[in-house]
Amino acid sequence: MQMRLADIQQYVGGELVGDANTAVNAVNSLDLAEQGEISFAENDKYLAAAQTSQASILIVPKSFPELEGKSVLKVDKPKETFIGIMMMFDESQVKFSGIHASAVIAEKDVILGPNVAVAAQVSIQENVSIGANTSIDASTYIAHDVVIGEHCKIGPNVSILSQVTLGHNVTIHAGTVIGGDGFGYFWDGQQQKKVPQLGGVIIEDNVEIGCNVCVDRATFGMTRIRKGTKIDNLVQIAHNNDIGEHCIIVSHVGLSGSVTLGKRVTLAGQVGIADHITMGDGSTAAARTGISKDVQANQVVWGAPNRPIKQVMREMASIPKLPALLGQVKNILKRLTEVEQKLSRLDKE
């Protein structure tokens, strides 16, 4: 794909400086960009890097100093604008269309909207509805009683099991399982007995789920992931979780059953959350936090068990002082023993 600076300006706006016919065919960072590529400088801190960059076109703030001999597009928000340009050059978009001959689609109660694309070896069971412009990549399995909205992208080797509903513009990457059994057992005195998992999963609009994620169906009712939430690779979402709007859940996070996350909650890598925990709107758990008690709105927690992050940082700052403090305590105890011994001798005299 090749685009001229004038074409890019038509898409994103901004003030064009330099040769409008300058063409690029790829995007890259300032330091790695070569001729024929486009990059960006977010602010004046990157002036030196912008001056030496080999990029053919640069996206910069409107207040950015002049760059002699370079083709530039000045915009209000360079980073956001550049991300939009990156999407134009994204080569990972769907490369197939229509229904592949090897796809197996049930004959009963399957509704495919206009421009649905189904790749090789896809299996679609009965009573499934798939909205317009949705793509289903190779070797994906869609069980009975599933609803998928419009403009969704389902990657290869995905399993979407029964009683799952996806909203519009949902992206699910390779290897993910939506609607598997929740982990529920009880001890009957002799063995672990399985609790049937009879609920489903609802994933709302504009959710993106990474590779090899597991979202379990509910015991009763629904496991729910609300609109705009983004989930990284290798995350476990257990039964009856309610994940709020616009949350960020990073790799290797594990949520036990019946966890509730408010809006815009952030879970950094390797966070673990015990069952029936609630995290308030805007709260954050730093990496490797073990959450065993509720977290208040806008609170940042860390550690295991979770505590306010400032408290944990004070505790960690005190650790290097412990050897010296221990030496002081030993010295005090020694002197105290000597004083007690002297007082004891005086009493006897």
CA distance 103 to 138: 9
Parallel, antiparallel, or unpaired: how do β-strands 214-216 and 208-209 relate? unpaired
Helix axes 5-12, 78-88, angle to 10 degrees: 110
> Rounded to 5 degrees, what are φ and ψ at 320?
-65, -20
Tell me which of 151, 239, 246, 276 is the catalytic residue: 239
Structure tokens that stand for 256 in this block? 């036990």
Active site residue 239: yes
CA distance 333 to 346: 20
For every residue of 210-243, DSSP letters joined together read -TT-EEEPPSSSEEEE-TT-EE-SS-EE-TT-EE
> Rounded to 5 degrees, what are φ and ψ at 267?
-115, 110
Q: In 3D, which of 165, 164, 135 has the Cα closest to residue 151? A: 135
For the chain, count helices (H), then strands (E): 5, 39
> Rounded to 5 degrees, what are φ and ψ at 24?
-135, 155
147-156: long-range contacts, CB 8 A cutoff, minimum separation 24: 149/205, 150/113, 153/94, 155/211, 156/119
> Collapsing DSSP states into helix, strand and coil, what is residue 201?
strand
Yes or no: say if 82 and 60 are a contact pair by the CB < 8 Å rule.
no
Q: Which residues contact 88 (CB under 8 A, 6 or more apart)?
A: 1, 3, 8, 11
Q: Look up residue 172 and give its amino acid.
A: I
Q: What amino acid positions are annotated as catalytic residues?
A: 239
